[in-house]
Amino acid sequence: MSSTLKTDFSPKVAIIGRPNVGKSTLFNIITETRKAVVKNQAGVTRDIMIEPVDIWGKQFDLIDTGGITEAGDIFSKLIKEQVTEFLHSVDLIVAVMDGRVGLVPEDRDIIRVAKQTGKPFLLVINKVDSDQDQDMAKADFYEFGVDVVAASFEQRRGLAEILEWVVKQIPENPGTVKEGMNIAIVGKPNVGKSSICNAILGYNRMIVSDIAGTTIDSVDSPFVYNDKKYTLVDTAGLRRSAKREEDLEIISAFKSQEAIRRADIVLLMVDGTVGPTDQDARIMQAILEDHKGVIVVANKSDLGGKEVPEYRKTFREQVERVFHFFTDVHIVFTSAKTGYGLEDLFEMIEKVAHQMTFRVPTAELNDFFFETIRKAPAPVWGTTNVKFYYLTQTYQQPPAFIAFANHPDGVTNSYRRFLIKHIKTNWDLHGMPIRIFCMKSR
């Protein structure tokens, strides 16, 4: 299997579905291979298959997930977690259902899990072998509000529609740095978000919170710094303020979520004289769950006291305590009032942008990987050592990886941290929320 994985940075398209719906048939047709054994019997465990394909000039890796989705009862918690984790590592999801059987409870489960990932998602109703059945077959599935295609893989119906959908979702130049990172500023009220926004945009476009209840329609603010384009997202949200303190808390929490979702890089602002709090830890969790680049901005440095090194040291210690789940997070000290630290902030934004788009060829990655895992005892699953086959980088930003192993459940969190630590050191990726997914392979 490893030899077929030629494309390093291709988007990954996963075919999911219950046993026997036609996943391997679809995989075989698109990849023009006979690798995925098509069988007429439900529940036969098999490998995950990955094949690079080139359709109409767009390259992607097609994945037949039979190996996980059929590894047991889809309802079982463990399998569901594995499937969910796996789906987070792919870019597009094609869920196949059986039109002759109709919608069954497991299908709802699969649709729910796929939707929760937030990835582009196509529902394919297979085995619609006659034209007349098309609308009937699809009707069952419209309630989910996702794209639906009726198909018969055996009769090669619906394939063009499926491929068209996939190709449409793939950007022209995957892997290239898109112009203009989206930057969101989040944090508790009164830490200086609007003020830093003003300082960044260079003029007083924001109405600072002294004026209560001001509402301006949501806009993003594009700007240029050092000849590079950026967009500050939801700057209007920063202008808005509420009358009561509680409202402010609720509104800002809600706004933060939306801003985080739309951002590439999130600036989590805290009052440097106070330090991060539990509420900031919750915001940080949300940022990490959304898998975004993040910089902690310690504002109001002008009030930080005369002992600057001491002040910074104390702040760092607080960061390590409050963000104990992400201790190497980047920190920049600023003062929105005096403009102090803005250059450092932009240097850091550029560094994070660079780290986010990091790419390593599979060969180099695996040389490093096998050298690294030799340094530590192999993780153990039951009585057997976990054996790794290879590591591949996914198409995502910030960098994420999939490790293929014989017993992925044996790869403990501490072993993952060990791998992540070495990856970060080897390629200067400190401060990045790196993820490693583990998948079963034989």
Residue 253 CB partners (closer than 8 Å, separation 6+): 283
Tell me if 7 contacts ligand GDP by CB under 6 A.
no
Neighbour tally for 112: CB within 10 Å: 11
From the list 216-224, 323-331, 332-340, 345-353, the region that binds ligand GDP by CB under 6 A is 332-340
Distance of closest approach, residue 201 Cβ to ligand GDP, in angstroms: 13
Q: State which residue, 236 or 378, has the beta carbon closest to ligand GDP.
A: 236
Regarding 31 and contact with ligand GDP (CB under 6 A), the answer is no
Rounded to whole angstroms, how far apart are CA atoms 280 and 150? 47
Q: Cβ atoms within 10 A of the Cβ of 32, count?
A: 8
Structure tokens at 442: 């034989």
Task: Match 């529609």 to its residue by tokens.
Answer: 161
Q: Is 21 in the site for ligand GDP (CB under 6 A)?
A: yes
Measured from each CB, the residue nearest to ligand GDP is 192
379 forms part of the interface with ligand GDP (CB under 6 A) = no
Place of tokens 């068209």: 164
Using rule CB under 6 A, residue 25 touches ligand GDP: yes
For every residue of 28-49, DSSP letters joined together read HHHHT---SPP-SSTT-----E
* Residue 127 binds ligand GDP, judged by CB under 6 A: yes
Q: Which of 22, 120, 379, 431 binds ligand GDP (CB under 6 A)?
A: 22
Residue 354, interface with ligand GDP (CB under 6 A)?
Answer: no
Mark the segment that binds ligand GDP (CB under 6 A) among 21-29, 161-169, 321-329, 403-411: 21-29
Instruction: Using the minimum distance from each CB to ligand GDP, give the nearer residue, 13 or 191.
Output: 191
The helix (H) or strand (E) run that includes residue 310 is: helix 308-322
Per the DSSP assignment, residues forming a β-bridge with 17 are: 96
Q: How far apart are CA 48 and CA 64, in angstroms?
A: 6
Q: Tell whether residue 182 is a contact of ligand GDP (CB under 6 A).
A: no
Residue with Cβ nearer ligand GDP (63 or 419): 63
Among 7, 10, 20, 256, binds ligand GDP (CB under 6 A): 20
* Alpha carbons 85 and 409: distance in angstroms, whole number: 12
In angstroms, the CA 391 to CA 370 distance is 9
In whole angstroms, the minimum distance from the beta carbon of 141 to ligand GDP comes to: 16
CA distance 26 to 151: 10
Spatial separation of the C-alpha atoms in residues 196 and 168, rounded to whole Å: 38
Q: Residue 68, interface with ligand GDP (CB under 6 A)? A: no
Q: Does 237 interact with ligand GDP (rule: CB under 6 A)?
A: no
Kindly state whether residue 19 participates in binding ligand GDP, applying the rule CB under 6 A.
Answer: yes
Options 35, 189, 231, 314; binder of ligand GDP; rule CB under 6 A: 189
Report yes or no: 102 and 76 within 8 Å, Cβ to Cβ. Answer: no
Q: Which 267-326 residues touch ligand GDP, going by CB under 6 A?
A: 299-300, 302-303
65 binds ligand GDP (CB under 6 A): no
Closest CA to 192 of 21, 11, 332, 380: 332
Contact 351, 331 (CB under 8 A): no
Q: Considering only residues 30, 113, 184, 191, which one is a binding residue for ligand GDP as defined by CB under 6 A?
A: 191
Q: Which residues bind ligand GDP (CB under 6 A)?
A: 17, 19-25, 38-40, 66, 126-127, 129, 152-154, 189-195, 208-209, 238, 299-300, 302-303, 335-337
